[in-house]
Amino acid sequence: MNTYSNKLYIGIGFPKEKADVMLKLPRKGMEKENQAITMLKTAFQAFKNGFSHRIAIICHNSEEENIFRKYFWNESLELLGNSSIMDEFKQQIAKFNDNSDLTSLQSNYKGWFDFFNLDTIDSVSAARNALA
């Protein structure tokens, strides 16, 4: 899974680069979807609060990876703050055109864009498609 950030790895198997924190979904307990959402919320909240280390979420199989993929972009909005800012961002990114000027989005939603280290608009397009 491509998280478009060097700070967060989610995938089957271990990342090529060292991670400071390694997480796995427990095989028992709560529903896997609830666990995945909780892990993503926790990771993005930590990054929002200044956590600077690399986190790796290791999936046991493609089913788990797909669960994280399903909730990834929505939970990444945690980087922005409160729900009204999240809703505003969703509206702005829905209107985003690949040929538009990215500068205004980047300056208005700096916390989100700083996390994803955008050199291209690939992750903006991916987020737009997932959040639509």
Q: Is residue 3 part of a domain?
A: no
pLDDT at 96: 76
Q: What is the pLDDT of residue 42?
A: 92
Say which residue, 34 or 126, is predicted with more confidence: 34
Q: Is residue 25 within 8 Å of residue 32, measured between CB atoms?
A: yes
- Check residue 121 and give its pLDDT: 66
110 and 52 belong to one structural domain: no
End-to-end CA distance of the chain: 19
Does residue 104 sit in the same domain as residue 127?
A: yes
> Looking at residue 129, what is its pLDDT?
83
Band (pLDDT 50/70/90 cuts) for residue 117 is low
User: d(Cα 39, Cα 57) in Å, to the nearest integer?
Assistant: 9
Please give the residue range of the domain that contains residue 24: 8-77
- Residue range 107-121: average pLDDT? 78
Q: Is the per-residue pLDDT at 11 higher than 70? A: yes
Alpha-carbon span 5 to 57, nearest angstrom: 13
